[in-house]
Amino acid sequence: MTTAAELPAWVTLSTAFLVLLGASLALIGSVGLLRLESFYARVHAPTLGATLGVGCVLIASMLFFSVLQTRPIVHEILIAVFVTMTTPITLMLLVRAALLRDRSEEPTGQMASDDATTKPPASGTIDAG
């Protein structure tokens, strides 16, 4: 097994670049979480930052340890699959829960879906009115 000091320069530079890029993307997602106004806008920034940031860090880890141990390291692929699958699902569940909460807090008869202009006539007749 080689030591980290014996790694080629392209590996160390690529790893450093990918780790910095991943950390920057995660930081941008965190800043977006703080800066955006509504919950619905706020939930997207950390989702994208987490997915892309973790992806860059995992690629850097795969590159570094594959060269260091002279064999492919693939358990990071499993981590990437789980993060890629669970982050959008969590986003969708949070947004649906917030939407349900917002709709249940509105006064009865005031919901946007109860607007008379969007409903077709109930009996199938055309209103001449």
The residue extents of the domains of the chain are 9-104
pLDDT at residue 15 in the model: 94
CA 35 vs CA 23, 81, 117: distances in Å: 18, 29, 36
Whether the CB-CB separation of 46 and 30 falls below 8 Å is answered with yes
Handedness of CA 34, 40, 46, 52 (dihedral sign): negative
Q: What is the C-alpha separation between 67 and 61, in angstroms, rounded?
A: 10
pTM: 0.69
pLDDT at residue 112 in the model: 53
Query: In tens digits, what is the pLDDT along the chain, a chain of 129 residues?
Result: 556 677 888 999 999 999 999 999 999 988 888 888 888 888 888 888 888 899 999 999 999 888 888 777 778 889 888 988 888 888 899 999 999 998 888 776 555 554 444 455 555 555 554
pLDDT at residue 87 in the model: 86
How much is the CA Rg of the chain, to the nearest whole Å?
24
Structure tokens at 18: 């990918």
HSE at residue 63, side-chain half, CA atoms within 13 A, is 19
Question: What residue type is 117 in one-letter code?
Answer: T
pLDDT at residue 97 in the model: 93
Length of the chain, in residues: 129
What's the 3-state SS for 83-115?
HHHHHHHHHHHHHHHHHHHHHHHCCCCCCHHHC
Whether the CB-CB separation of 84 and 48 falls below 8 Å is answered with no
